[in-house]
Structure 1
Amino acid sequence: MKFIISTTLMLLSLISFSQEQEVYKLSLEDAIERALDSSYVAVNAKRDQLKALKQKWETTADGLPQISAGIDYEYNPKLIVTPLPGEIVGGEPGTIVPVTFGTEQNMRATATLNQLIFDGSYIVALKAAKTFLEYSKNANDKTRLEVRQSAINAYANALLVESSVEVLKQNEMTVKENLDETQRTFEEGLAEQEEVEQLQITYQQISNSLRNSQRNLDLSKQTLSMVLGIPVDAKLVLTDNLENLAMKQLADFDLIEQQLEVEENIDYKIANNLVKQRQLEWQLEKSKFLPTLTAFANYGTTTFGNEFVFLDSSQQWFQFSTVGVSLNIPIFSSLKRAKRSQRAEIALMQAETDLKESVEQIKLEFNQAKSDYNFALENYQTAQANLDLAERIERKNITKYKEGLSTSFELRQAQLQLYNAQNSYLESMLQLINSKTSLETILNSPNISN
């Protein structure tokens, strides 16, 4: 019995320990760092960049020596019969004599070396591989910027819901106190039933909102877990505070004054990469008008016989070798190469137009993001001032209600005004954080290097 109890306690302690291991205490910076390192999107983006590096070496290898080897074995149950004039083999002149050549079994071992000497498309391919590697790096940087933005948005949203739960709890407690006090006053005959019912409506609405916010808090943390690349059933403890994060956004005055450098924007870099790729594709098509020159060398050994005796040490093998060059000159393709080159040139012009459009789009997005950030700053300050006013109005109405100088309807209106001010204040902080993040993303200002 003691053994069973001790075993059970040990298992329970192990379960408790495993559960403790799944608790993640994260500040916003911790969340960003984890997302950049472990999120599903960021991990695959790193792999895409690694694939591009392998592809660059793959392209380079095409111009390096290529060595291959092979072993061929042939068995001829029926040898080919060749007709020959009779006088050649000692027969009657004018007759045809059937003759078989060869042996029933043959084996050959060959080694081949091929070396590219000149190929215009190979030179272009080397440049294209380098450009593609640059593109994959920029694509990875763009992904990391987006992952950072998603992590900030998800973290701030979870803090918003968390703060909303705390505010609703406080509001519920305040309304419950007013409701209980009004209920006692009603029972003493000093208040009307309508006053109790007004407060009951307010209390029920707040209670419903609180329960819904508590459910949303779990969902918002699960969403954050997905963004960070950790199990959604893990427990998250957010160590930052929404109000403190909002205050940090106010302190960054340099961001408002920072000017846009289009060349530093990640979307511009990617669009410019596309132009370079189209240029190289055009060069590739033009390079197909040039000849190609390759060198080759073969070395092998062969043996034959009517029986399989090739593994015997006494079997005689005959060696052979070949060295040469191959020149391929394109002469006429019925204008196929010319049209492909023209099509590639049109694609290049399209990419250049897309680049110009990207520049203007980036400028527009920057102006919009800057305007949104300025509005978020103003809205935050207004919401903060409105909240202070709404809190004072509610406190005055509670005092007046207790003193019998106002009705429960007037108190309810003041409370609803306070709740709206509280929601607006929380939303303004989230808007401030998210708008600043969007502006930073366009400016490519955060440090998201690997």
Structure 2
Amino acid sequence: MSTLLTKTPGWALVFLAALSLPRATAQTTYTVSLEEAQVIALENAFAMQYAMLDRSQADRDVKETLALGLPQVNLVADYSQYIDIPTQVAAGDVFGFPDYLTAFLGGVAQETGVPLNAPPVDPDAVSEFQFGQAHTANVGVQASQLVFSGSYFVALRASQSFVEARDRAIDRTADEVMQQVAEAYHLVLGAQAGLEMAEEAVALLVESKTEVEALQQAGFADALSLDRLELAQTELEAQVLNAEQQVVLAKGLLAFQMGIGLSDALTVTDEMSDLLQNGQELEWASRPFNASALPAVQEQQVYLDLAGLNVKNQQAQGWPQIAAFYTNQSNAQRDAFNFLDADEKWYPIQLWGLNFSMPLWTSFGGRQAVEKKKIDEERARIGLAQLTQAAEMEFANAKAAFSNATAVMNNARQAQDIAQKIYTQTEIGFNEGVVSSFEWNESRNGLLEAKGKRLGAELDWLNARVALQAAFSAFEK
């Protein structure tokens, strides 16, 4: 009966044991088949929630990229104050008359007798000037429109392809979640079957113990036989307690994989015998394998396409970029802060135009950037080939593991039938006094061990079958 415990990862048992403590939260009751548990997980599992958020974010990326090519309008305003107004300097005679005009006016002054009274010319003199006001403010609207950009069109295509990649990621995650839920569901069924086996063994042992007590009182059995039965009963009762805890932990793991509360009441409705007789595995095992149909491979193919678009985007950096702009604003310059005064004047500024830019020479830097993107594209191509081969290997391993699990399960069933016959014959011999209590106890332990191995083999077969199903991505979503 310890088989189930050893098949569960230790970290999972510790984690679930900690989370299975009583909590003051409202309980929800779930009574689910395997298919219903998988449907719930597709809505609530943490991995699916993350995948859905990534898909939603990719949608926003497309809209954000599209918006870059639409008109952009900004409200602009600024205010500045000169603590010290800038001073401009010029030669002292910069505003004086030219030499020929000065000579002419001097001649006129001599002829008319009217003195010119011009100041003497100082060639080293410097004049200082201050222009502007202490307070300046601008307010208005600026608009721009992208007319042409090669990078924009490539980026728009890339964002749309990224949405497709996220769709494939959702399908891939759904396969992983459904496989995890199926394995957890199998574990619950196995734990419950183990508990039933332990309880049945205790009941049979108690019945045998009662018969031995009667034989002892009649003088046909010794006290040692009864002591052995009491010891075996103690061990089996401990196994019952352990099996009960395994059921709790297995249900906690299933609830975690489904994405529901660990404190919620969870009941499974499928029987292990029903799942063992499903029959779809024969169709999966005979189906031809096509790696390109798997969501994970399709996702990697989209990433390869994105790498190619990244090369084109880098090449588009050398194309022209044209944008139109329009500005409408008002300007005011004051010697005091009175911009809220409606009587003061504002001066309009309005213009429109085009911006054109195109790299002419980058000293081969642009070419090197393109070559780097091509290397990334080649890495993505290698990654696709690697993932395709890995998927083919996974299918081959899953198919072989399923075939082996089928053989092991059939052998375990035959071994249980043989152990059952041995126990039945030994029990008859013990009751007739021709078989010792030790041999009877050994045959009983052998039967319990055979039942446990059969249960473990059936669980391995169920998990091998779901692994084969996952290798084909044959889950119904």
Q: Is the 8 A contact 2:284 2:472 kept in 1?
A: no
Q: 1:264 matched to which residue of 2?
A: 293
The within-5 A match list for 1:281-300 is 281-300=310-329
Unpaired segments of 5 or more residues in structure 1?
1-17
- CA–CA distance in 1 between the matches of 2:95 and 2:471? 89
By how many angstroms is 1:374 displaced? 2.6
Residue 310 (structure 1) aligned with residue 310 (structure 2): no
The answer to whether structure 1 residue 97 and structure 2 residue 103 are counterparts is: no
The answer to whether the 8 Å contact 1:108/1:303 transfers is yes
1:293 Cα shift?
2.0
Match of 1:321 among 350, 355, 358: 350
Partners of 1:220 and 1:353 lie apart in 2 by: 40
Note if contact 1:23-1:235 (Cα within 8 Å) is conserved in structure 2: yes
Which residue matches 1:373? 402
Tell me by how many angstroms 1:314 deviates. Answer: 1.9
Structure 1 CA distance, aligned partners of 2:280 and 2:437? 42
2:183 is matched by which residue type in structure 1? Answer: N
Report whether the alignment pairs 1:37 with 2:67.
no
| Alpha carbons of structure 1 residues 79 and 386: separation in structure 2 relative to 1, 3 Å | same
| Distance in structure 1 (CA, Å) of the matches to 2:312 and 2:397 | 39
- Verify the 8 A CA contact 2:27 2:265 in the aligned structure 1: no
**Pair 1:416-2:422 in alignment:** no
Following superposition, the deviation at residue 352 of structure 1 comes to: 1.5
Matches within 5 A, 1:14-163: 21-87=27-93, 93-94=121-122, 95-163=125-193
> Deviation string for 1:281-340 (max 9, x for gaps)?
222222222232222221111112112222222222211122222222212223222222
Q: Does 1:180 align with 2:210?
A: yes
How far apart, CA to CA, are the structure 1 residues paired with 2:175 and 2:304?
Answer: 22
Q: Which amino acid aligns with 1:98?
A: E
Secondary structure class of the residue paired with 1:442: helix
Query: Distance between the aligned counterparts of 2:128 and 2:215, measured in 1?
Result: 129
The Cα shift of 1:38 comes to: 0.9
- Amino acid of the residue matched to residue 156 of structure 1? H
Q: How far apart are the structure 2 equivalents of 1:284 and 1:408?
A: 83
Structure 1 counterpart of 2:226, which letter? V
Identity of aligned residues (%): 22
Shift of 1:76: 2.0
Counterpart of 2:264 (choices 215, 231, 234) is 234
**Equivalent residues of 1:246, 1:430 under 8 A apart:** no
1:366: Cα distance to partner? 0.9
- Report the CA distance shift for 1:19/1:124 in structure 2 as closer, same or farther (over 3 A): closer
Contact in 1 for aligned 2:391/2:471 (Cα 8 Å): yes
Q: 1:386: Cα distance to partner?
A: 3.0
Measured after TM superposition, the shift of residue 219 of structure 1 is 1.1
**CA shift for structure 1 position 220:** 1.1
Match of 2:226 among 196, 207, 214: 196
> Contact 2:220–2:433 (CA<8 Å) still a contact in 1?
no
Structure 2 match to 1:217: 247
- Partner residue, 1:428: 457
CA distance in 2, matches of 1:388, 1:80: 106
Deviation at 1:153, TM superposition (A): 0.8
Aligned partners of 1:252 and 1:265: how far apart in 2?
18
Matching of residue 439 in structure 1 with residue 468 in structure 2 = yes
| Secondary structure class of the residue paired with 1:293 | strand
**Shift of residue 180, structure 1, vs aligned partner:** 3.3
TM-score by length of 1: 0.89
Cα distance in 1, alignment partners of residues 274 and 88 from structure 2: 97
* Residues 391, 444 of structure 1: alpha-carbon distance in 2 compared, 3 angstrom cutoff: same
- Structure 1 residue 73 displacement after superposition: 1.3
With over 3 angstroms needed to count, the CA separation of the structure-2 counterparts of 1:128 and 1:20, relative to structure 1, is closer
Shift of 1:49: 0.6
RMSD of Structure 2 on Structure 1 (CA): 2.2
Q: In structure 1, give the amino acid aligned to 2:135.
A: Q
Q: Does 1:274 align with 2:303?
A: yes
Q: How far apart are residue 21 of structure 1 and its match?
A: 4.6
Superposed displacement of residue 169, structure 1: 0.2
Paired with 1:222 and 1:210, the residues of 2 have a C-alpha distance of 19
How many residues are paired up?
430
Task: Give the aligned partner of residue 3 of structure 1.
Answer: none
1:377-433 per-residue CA deviation (whole Å, 9 max, x = no partner) reads 333333333333322332232222112121122212221221122112222222222
CA distance, structure 2, for counterparts of residue 353 and residue 73 of structure 1:
57
Contact persistence 1:243–1:429 (CA under 8 A): no
Residue 339 of structure 1 pairs with residue 345 of structure 2: no
* Greater Cα offset, 238-247 or 377-386: 377-386
Q: Which secondary structure does the structure 1 equivalent of 2:277 belong to?
A: helix
Distance 1:317 1:197 in 2: 110
Please point out which of 377, 399, 407 is paired with 1:348. 377
Instruction: Classify the secondary structure of the residue corresponding to 1:327.
Output: strand
The separation in 1 between residues aligned to 2:245 and 2:193, in whole angstroms, is: 13
Note the C-alpha offset of 1:30.
1.6
* Comparing 344-353 and 81-90, the one that deviates more: 81-90
Alpha-carbon distance in structure 2 between the residues aligned to 1:371 and 1:190: 54
Aligned-partner Cα distance in 1 for 2:379–2:30: 49
Code of the aligned partner of 2:227? E
In structure 2, stretches of 5+ residues that fail to align are 1-23, 97-117
Mapped to 1, the partners of 2:309 and 2:253 lie a distance apart of: 42
Question: 1:259 and 1:198 mapped to 2: Cα distance?
Answer: 57
Cα deviations across residues 245-302 of structure 1 (Å, max 9, x unaligned)? Answer: 2222x35532222111221112211221221122122222222222322222211111
- TM-score normalized by the length of structure 2: 0.85
Could you tell me which residue of structure 1 aligns to residue 274 of structure 2?
244
- Which structure would you say has the larger Rg? 2
Distance 1:42 1:267 in 2: 15
